Amino acid sequence: MFVFTMHKRGLKKAAVVVGCAALLALSAAAVSHFAFGEAAPTALLGGSEKIELDSTSDMATYLSGLGVEVDLSSAKVDKVKIPKKWDASFEAFNEVIIQGGLDLSKYKNKTVEKWDFVSPNKSTADQTVSAILLVYKEQLIGAYLIGRPSGGVQPLVAPQPDASSSSSAAQTAATAEQATSLTPEQLAQVSAAGEAAGLTEEQIAAAAAAIESAARQPGALPSE
């Protein structure tokens, strides 16, 4: 029997134990679920997941995650209507929204909330930059940055990591991949336990994949 102990922030969170008793409890559905994993979380912007914002505090937290600090005392809200028919200028504006991972095309002729927050860390001596959030029924549908007095509009996107951090992350991931692969001896133990529990070859393979997948989660440290 061997155990993969999961650690996060220095604390033990869970253990995946392989043995006859554990494998006997696995159903085909459960094995399939853990072997192939759950859907990866969507990005802050650019995914299909709905982003709900029901308070200015939520909005400030959301913007902070995108590297935009805001002054809550500057918050202003207006009601604006998304045009039913778009001209070239509004099409160009929506392209800016799309660059941030959102799209206003589904909200034509809808009246939405337009939240305006001054962003001190994006502003300069001669340009005050505000973060604008367009919200419909407490759901974020559009976001952008606007400079004043220039009126220039920029997409609101998550900051990109620099090349050095990307390289480091890739190296860490490769190391983790090697560290969490089952050894031939461990695979033999899984196979023996699975056969004793009456599992099929496919279920045994899925169980082994599930163990490796669990051990690769952030903070997981494999141990025998």
In whole angstroms, how far apart are CA 220 and each of 34, 78, 132, 211? Answer: 16, 47, 39, 11
119 pLDDT higher than 60: yes
- The top-scoring range by mean pLDDT among 35-44, 74-83, 175-184, 212-221 is 74-83
Q: What is the pLDDT of residues 89-101, one digit of tens each?
A: 999 999 999 999 9
E strand residue ranges, the chain: 2-8, 11-18, 76-81, 111-118, 128-136, 139-148, 153-155, 220-222
Phi, psi of 104 (to 5 degrees): -90, 0
Q: Is the pTM of this model over 0.85?
A: no
* pLDDT on residue 205: 78
Which range among 28-37, 116-125, 145-154 shows the weakest confidence by mean pLDDT?
28-37
Which segment of 33-37, 153-157, 161-165, 180-184 scores lowest on mean pLDDT?
33-37
Q: How confident is the model at residue 168 (pLDDT cuts 50, 70, 90)?
A: low
Give, in degrees to the nearest 5, the angle at Cα 28 between 20 and 39. Answer: 115
Report the alpha-carbon distance of residue 12 to residue 114 in Å, rounded: 44
Work out the mean pLDDT of the chain and round it to a whole number: 73
